[in-house]
Structure 1
Amino acid sequence: MIWKVDRDLKITYISPADEKFRGYKADEVIGHHVFEMFTPESINIISEKIKQRLEAQQKGMNTEEFVTYEIQHRCKDGRLIWGEIISKPEYNASGEIIGFHGITREITERKAMQDRVQQLAFYDSLTKLPNRILLSERLSYMLAEMKRIQKYSALFFLDLDNFKSLNDTYGHSIGDLLLCQVAQRLQKCVREVDTVARFGGDEFVVILNTLHEDNQVSVEQAHRIAEKILQSVSALYVLNVSHNKSEEKLVEHKCTASIGVLVFKSAEKTPDDLLKQADAAMYKAKEAGKNKISFYEAPF
């Protein structure tokens, strides 16, 4: 789709391909503001691109190159499609921008494929939680941020105590149902800025970002959340073990957890260091009788 807009971002030309992609004839959009084509998020992206170009122009930088970005477009029937926009400004004799022109290609299928690849690469296929790869990336990012913010964070390593008995009795498909419910319960116990990840098997990891500047206050905050998780995970599970919808069979199962907690500040640690220390604390909770919380204590 080829298009042109004036300095006020009013559409002055659009090729017939727009009718194929979005369902609009040219006379339905010419004269209209280009923002009518996009979602609010897309409008923010375009506005930021224009702002960056103007700032670069004021600094004497070259702004005559094509700029490429991906945004969502509105269709006449209400659908949203993805488009890759390649745009360039038009100037008058005084060097002022008098409009833009460019090409838009639909990339909806490509975006869907990219999202699918991202999901497979970084998320657990069963629980939809971040997997170990994404967990490691988020830990690395958090460690870098902590040097700037100077607040404590916490890492929980959680292992289900009596998960194996459920698998042995009813099979792995029922165990999978329980793991999904555990994942949902964990997510409800933490903030949106925190991370809940599946480490593998019946092990989960929770990252609590930016707690407090004071160590003791941070420890108390982490302990409250760990207690909340312990109570939530240990609440009764009701699982549907039937394979036939007309003959529903429900099974009740009690499943507790052992939680290892590491409260830390960035001190040239690596993600592996953090995970090993939280894991060591979790094994202490196991040894203490399970269904407990154990904080990591550095050896003397």
Structure 2
Amino acid sequence: MLDIALQDLSEDVVVTTAFFHIHLPSGGHQLSREVARLVLIFRLEGAEWMIVHSGISIPYQSAQDGEVYPLKSLQEQNSALQALVAERTQVLHDSQALYRLLTEDAQDVLWRTDAHLVITYISPADERLRGFRADEVVGRHVFDMFNGEGVAEVKAMIARRAQDEASGTPVGFLNFEVQHRCKDGRLIWGEVMSKPDRNAQGDIIGYHGITRETTERKRLEEQVRQLAFHDPLTHLANRRLMLEHLDQAMSASKRSHRHGALLFLDLDNFKPLNDAHGHGVGDLLLIEVGERLKTCVREADTVARFGGDEFVVLLCELATQHDEATAQAAAVAEKVRTRLAEPYVLQAAPSAPAIGHQCTASIGVAVFHGRDESQNAVIDRADAAMYQAKEDGRNRIRFAPGSAEAG
């Protein structure tokens, strides 16, 4: 005890004030040497003094890591901590709301898989897109989402990623476009953006990504391609696409040592039909010619309309020997000539009168091998041979001189 004082308020009332140091009740953990004040009020009752009131003023303090903090300071810190907790709680709430906005309300599909490509999460957008509920998708392999071609594309992507990583090439997001299966049996196009998840050691432990539907974009792209590379009347390849295919065929011929051939056709009796019945009926003839030409060739070959009444047929992967390849081209050319010479019945509408027409074609053939000449040179030779067929009486086949010999 530091000090004590007595004060008489009356003959039977006395106030005692004492000052002393205060310590924690547990030994060895002294708070501080702060002074506390004890006030006792005594009253004389008979022959004894009785305590009628007591009070103590303690500088409440706490010790942490050797530091002493007044209670008021702790209360202030507690209030600040409560405010911080409230702030962090609001931030968490906002983050959760943003997460729901980005995942549950997003139009694109967000997904995650484990290292074995088993789906562990998929956002609600997938149900809107493909019709499958999340519980029908989670736990299944990603290959179940795609058609056969899509599965092959994903496998190829994984193989490419593995090769890049083995060579030390950094791999971030990979983009690929595949068809996805819908619950109702439809197939839709989707662009997939995928990135691996890695642990601290750099090992892949899963994948995450976004899928965006591109069906409408693909449809528009196909329309643009159709307009850019196909004849609007017959829907055959146009000159531009034919030149592209010819370039590819010449490159393939150089690799495989097989020949190719170009057939250049011009209709012999087209103008009189146009003059007599108008362009509408003439267009019907051109459409029918295109359909007949497609029945004369393989799927790998190309039929194109060059303009007017001129058509081109590109034959690929003929024999390696020149004479044999020439015979193959001649057989196709004869098939074309015979098929186009069959009678035509043209009718613009069910109520319109049917118009009968006989039309033949003059055909020039140029056999090529590799890249021994340019595309234009091949076309020019076939065109010249076609004019020779016309001069020789029409409805004939003529081979261009100077066809490339096998090397």
Which runs of structure 1 show a deviation greater than 4 angstroms over 4 or more consecutive aligned residues? none
Residue ranges of structure 2 left out of the alignment (5+ in a row): 1-108
Cα displacement (A) at 1:94: 3.8
| Maintained 8 Å contact 2:363/2:396 | yes
TM-superposition CA deviations, 1:133-157 (whole Å, max 9, x none): 0111111222222222222211110
Tell me which amino acid in the other structure corresponds to 1:45.
E
Quick one: which of 209, 233, 258 aligns to 1:102?
A: 209
Cα displacement (A) at 1:117: 0.6
* CA distance 1:228–1:113, change in 2 (3 Å): same
Cα displacement (A) at 1:92: 2.8
Matches within 5 A, 1:101-180: 101-180=208-287
Residue ranges of structure 1 left out of the alignment (5+ in a row): none
Q: 1:52 and 2:156 equivalent?
A: no
User: How far apart, in 1, do the equivalents of 2:245 and 2:302 lie?
Assistant: 8
User: How far apart, in 2, do the equivalents of 1:271 and 1:60 lie?
Assistant: 41
Matches within 5 A, 1:1-300: 1-63=109-171, 65-241=172-348, 243=349, 245=350, 247-298=351-402
2:51 corresponds to: none
User: How far apart, in 1, do the equivalents of 2:164 and 2:270 lie?
Assistant: 59
User: How far apart, in 1, do the equivalents of 2:241 and 2:217 lie?
Assistant: 22
* CA distance 1:24–1:202, change in 2 (3 Å): same
Cα displacement (A) at 1:252: 1.5
Tell me which amino acid in the other structure corresponds to 1:260.
G
Cα displacement (A) at 1:124: 0.6
TM-superposition CA deviations, 1:107-166 (whole Å, max 9, x none): 111111111111100011111111000111111222222222222211110000001111
| Maintained 8 Å contact 2:251/2:371 | no
Identity %: 51
The SS at the match of 1:192 is coil
User: How far apart, in 1, do the equivalents of 2:371 and 2:197 lie?
Assistant: 52
User: How far apart, in 2, do the equivalents of 1:148 and 1:32 lie?
Assistant: 43
Cα displacement (A) at 1:57: 2.2
TM-superposition CA deviations, 1:164-197 (whole Å, max 9, x none): 1111121111111111111111111111111111
Query: More deviation in 138-147 or 250-259?
Result: 138-147
The SS at the match of 1:183 is helix
Cα displacement (A) at 1:238: 1.3
Query: More deviation in 193-202 or 87-96?
Result: 87-96
Cα displacement (A) at 1:248: 4.6
Cα displacement (A) at 1:61: 2.6
In angstroms, what is the RMSD of aligned CA positions? 1.6
Superposition TM-score, scaled by structure 2 size: 0.70
User: How far apart, in 2, do the equivalents of 1:18 and 1:220 lie?
Assistant: 56
User: How far apart, in 2, do the equivalents of 1:21 and 1:168 lie?
Assistant: 54
TM-superposition CA deviations, 1:214-234 (whole Å, max 9, x none): 111111111111111100010
Superposition TM-score, scaled by structure 1 size: 0.94
* CA distance 1:36–1:298, change in 2 (3 Å): closer
Structure whose residues are more often strand by fraction: 2
How many pairs align?
295
Cα displacement (A) at 1:73: 1.2
The SS at the match of 2:362 is strand
| Maintained 8 Å contact 2:255/2:370 | no
